[in-house]
């Protein structure tokens, strides 16, 4: 249907409201639940760990925490009271940071993890803990969230895991 200037002011207001709603809607392309779960499960399958599934309760927790970080984009872990494991990701402003970007960064730590000795040889400032949480055998529920931070501070992504993993002295798989 074509819109013309003969439309009523109410029709123009309705159109303007619809356009603004679409513009304000968060972009979910490349950041859907499946976009988070699939790369997790690819990494898990690579080490013969059963697939994990999206969990709406865990995702609600992740979304609530991501909303808290939207104002500052700081890589500060939440205080889940031990309910969830957690991986955080930050990407600078202007980048196309997606679910795959975050999970890829975490999984890239595999290069430093030695499963035989259950040890990490990561260089200073790096770790293996994000990777081991991704593949932690008993962490079977995943919930993640992504926000664009205020003031061009970048993108904040968090994934939470239930039950949590990364227990000292225990092997992830």
pLDDT of 29: 65
Q: How many CB atoms lie within 10 A of CB 108?
A: 12
Domain of 39 in residue numbering reads as 33-162
Total domains, the chain: 1
Residue pLDDT, tens place only, 14-59: 333 333 333 333 445 689 999 999 999 999 999 999 999 999 999 9
| Stated pTM of the model | 0.82
β partners of residue 160? 86, 143
Q: How far is residue 146's CA from residue 165's CA, in Å, rounded to a whole number?
A: 22
Name residues whose C-beta falls within 8 Å of residue 112's C-beta, 6 or more positions apart in sequence: 120, 121, 122, 123, 126, 127, 128
Assigned domain for 109 exists: yes
CB 110 within 8 A of CB 131: yes
In a domain, 28, yes or no: no
Which CATH number do you get for residue 43? Answer: 3.40.33.10
> 3-state SS of 4-37?
CCCCCHHHHHHHHHHHHHHHHCCCCCCCCHHHHH
* Position 168 in a domain: no
Give per-residue pLDDT as tens, 78-137: 999 999 999 999 999 999 999 999 999 999 999 999 999 999 999 998 999 999 999 999
In a domain, 112, yes or no: yes
């Amino acid at each position: 249907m074509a819109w013309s200037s003969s439309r009523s002011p109410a029709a123009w207001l309705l159109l303007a409201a619809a356009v603004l709603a679409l513009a304000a809607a968060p972009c979910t392309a490349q950041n859907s639940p499946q976009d988070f779960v699939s790369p997790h499960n690819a990494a898990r399958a690579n080490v013969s760990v059963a697939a994990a599934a999206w969990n709406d309760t865990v995702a609600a927790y992740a979304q609530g925490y991501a909303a808290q970080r939207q104002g500052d984009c700081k890589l500060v872990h939440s205080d889940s009271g031990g309910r969830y494991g957690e991986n955080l990701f930050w990407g600078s402003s202007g980048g196309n940071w997606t679910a795959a970007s975050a999970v890829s960064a975490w999984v890239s730590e595999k290069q430093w993890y030695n499963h035989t000795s259950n040890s990490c040889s990561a260089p200073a400032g790096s770790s293996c803990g994000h990777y081991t949480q991704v593949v932690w055998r008993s962490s079977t529920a995943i919930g993640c969230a992504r926000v664009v931070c205020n003031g061009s501070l970048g993108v904040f992504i968090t994934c939470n895991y239930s039950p949590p993993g990364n227990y000292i002295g225990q092997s992830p798989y």
